Structure 1
Amino acid sequence: MIEKIALDNILFLDIETVPETENFSDLDDTKKELFTLKTQYQRKDDYTPEEFYERAGIWAEFGKIICISVGYFTLKSDIRHFRVTSFFGDEIKILKDFANLLNNHFAQPQHLLCGHNAKEFDFPFIARRMLIHGIPIPQKLNLFGKKPWEVPHLDTMELWKFGDFKTFTSLKLLTNVLGIPSPKDDIDGSEVGKVFYIDQDIDRIITYCEKDVIAVAQIFLKFRREDLLIEEEIVHV
């Protein structure tokens, strides 16, 4: 089935998120209490809310998006390119620019969004942050009233499950078993907050995010039994 999807109709994406503020102490008293309640079962007695706050970026209620990287194929005759670009900086601008991309270039019925574990994380996180900021949610992210087969999303982790609902397979593991160069050769997700707030190195985060997008596209090609991208085919714009 996925062999029949035109590659140039897919927008591959990945997001990077961090806690909304650098420190737990920066939250107001209400938000501190709400975070404490939200995480009580994950923390148990092992961590205080302050210690656990470094993980706040996994929740749209307590985190924010600092980078959205996207990639898409361009196919002309027998020439294939994969173009990669990123939105970063102020979260509202990131979300508006990404919404404009979807509305203006990936809004047709044949267009699909693809990520790794994106149905559980990236897609809902983006939509929730748009809602929080009062940004209209593009149709490709607005799933209200859609039947499962009408959802325009692909997820490489879901494709790998083959109907198995018990397993989580990380991007790093899946690239390894499929013989794809690992995108995790610098930082990993747990370090993004430190790199953003302490090192203030957004370029390093952008590179990390774009490598993940390329890895997702490589996995998708592997599922289709097609040649993997080579460096000359990848264009950063």
Structure 2
Amino acid sequence: MADFFSELKNILFLDLETAASTHHLEELPERMQEEWHLKASRISTDENMDAAQLYFEKAGIYAEFGRVICIGMGYFSYNPDLDQLQFRTKSLASADEHEILWAFRDILEKKNWTLCAHNGKEFDFPYLCRRMLANRIPLPNVLQLAGKKPWELKHLDTLELWKFGDYKHYTRLELLASLFDIPSSKDDINGSEVNRVFYEDNNLQSIRTYCVKDVVVTAKIYLAFQGLPGDMDLQIIDLDTPEQG
């Protein structure tokens, strides 16, 4: 276990939750509203949904029109006294995107992390880069992509690992969790409800809980990819709860 942990301990598993930049389309600057109307004309497949409705439903997935409201993360540690693998989780959640991104940047700069997310290479990592730059935040080294060879990037993606080179194949995190008999993270809300829960319910705590659960599921899937049994003894430690820190 100790040899395995020496490689595992440097992986930071993460998941993002994002929302539209503003509650309503008309709250955007005029130039950005014009850009959204152009975007909406290209992506809309529902003739009954106008640009404002589409903005509320879809803007959060586009970094130019969305913002990060929660970053969930987790990393493995090993307790040699108990011979037990532990997974420590933490989250950054706020209506202040700049605050979240600066705090996350500090975390990334304190250790030579390898990042891991499900579909991270197509969504989480580029979204973080774009939103950091939009907030005038210098990119941390692990997110500096320019001039690096593919093998120099310290990025893992559980979706890419599952593809085994089949680039047409997309597999949802929930499907992999079901396949490997890992408990679902979708017991309270799901990704399509995040924008509503943030703006209409004002319930950032539910979003935080959902985000961290996705991180745990991603980490357990990564363990499953290493051939480890699903019922192995794994202690989850929530660092957002003071008594578990």
TM-score (norm 1): 0.93
- 1:73 aligned partner, one-letter code: F
- Tell me by how many angstroms 1:193 deviates: 0.6
Deviation at 1:42, TM superposition (A): 1.2
One-letter amino acid matched to 1:158: E
1:168, distance to aligned residue in structure 2 (A): 1.3
Of 84, 93, 97, the residue aligned with 2:89 is 84
Distance 2:12 2:198 in 1: 26
**Mapped partners of 1:123, 1:226: distance in 2:** 27
Work out whether residues 13 and 115 of structure 2, in 8 Å CA contact, stay in contact via their aligned partners in 1: yes
Q: Report the residue type matching 1:64 in the other structure.
A: R
Within 5 Å, give how 1:47-196 maps onto structure 2: 47-54=49-56, 55-77=58-80, 78-89=83-94, 90-105=96-111, 107=112, 111-196=113-198
Name the amino acid aligned to 1:216. Answer: T
2:87–2:234 Cα contact (<8 Å) kept: no
Letter in 1 for 2:180: L
Share of identical aligned residues, percent? 46
Secondary structure of the structure 2 residue equivalent to 1:140: helix
Please provide the CA RMSD for this pair.
1.7
Distance 1:9 1:67, change over 3 A: same
Structure 1: 5+ residue stretches without partners: none
User: What is the deviation of 1:174?
Assistant: 1.3
The answer to whether the Cα contact below 8 Å between 2:177 and 2:184 also exists between their aligned partners in 1 is: yes
Deviation of 1:56 (Å): 0.2
Q: Distance in 2 between matches of 1:45 and 1:233?
A: 45
User: Any conservation in 2 of the 1:12–1:213 contact (CA below 8 Å)?
Assistant: yes
SS at match of 2:185: coil
Distance 1:100 1:228, change over 3 A: farther
1:52 and 1:103 map into 2 onto residues whose CA distance is 37
Q: Give 3-state SS (helix, strand or coil) of 2:101's partner.
A: helix
Corresponding residue number in structure 1 for 2:228: 226
- SS of the equivalent of 2:121 reads coil
Equivalent in 217, 220, 224 of residue 219 of structure 2: 217
**Counterpart position of 2:26:** 25
> d(CA) in 2 for partners of 1:81 and 1:4?
10
1:24–1:53 Cα contact (<8 Å) kept: yes
Per-residue CA deviations over 1:37-92 (Å, capped at 9, x if unaligned) read: 12322115623211201210001100000000100001132221100000111111
Look up the SS of the partner of 1:69 in the other structure.
strand
| Contact residue 13 and residue 116 of structure 2 kept, 8 A | yes
5+ unaligned residues in a row in structure 2: which ranges? 240-245
Give the AA of the match of 1:174. L
- Provide the C-alpha distance between the structure 1 equivalents of 2:72 and 2:104, rounded to a whole number of angstroms: 9
Deviation at 1:231, TM superposition (A): 8.3
| Greater Cα shift, 190-199 or 176-185 | 176-185
Deviation at 1:25?
A: 1.8
How much does 1:188 deviate?
0.8
Distance 1:165 1:4, change over 3 A: farther
Asked if the contact 1:218/1:229 (under 8 Å) is kept, the reply is no
1:102-130 CA-partner distances (Å, limit 9, x unpaired): 1012x2xxx31000001111111111111
45 and 147 in structure 1: CA distance in 2 versus 1, 3 angstrom threshold: same
Q: Partner of 2:242 in structure 1? A: none
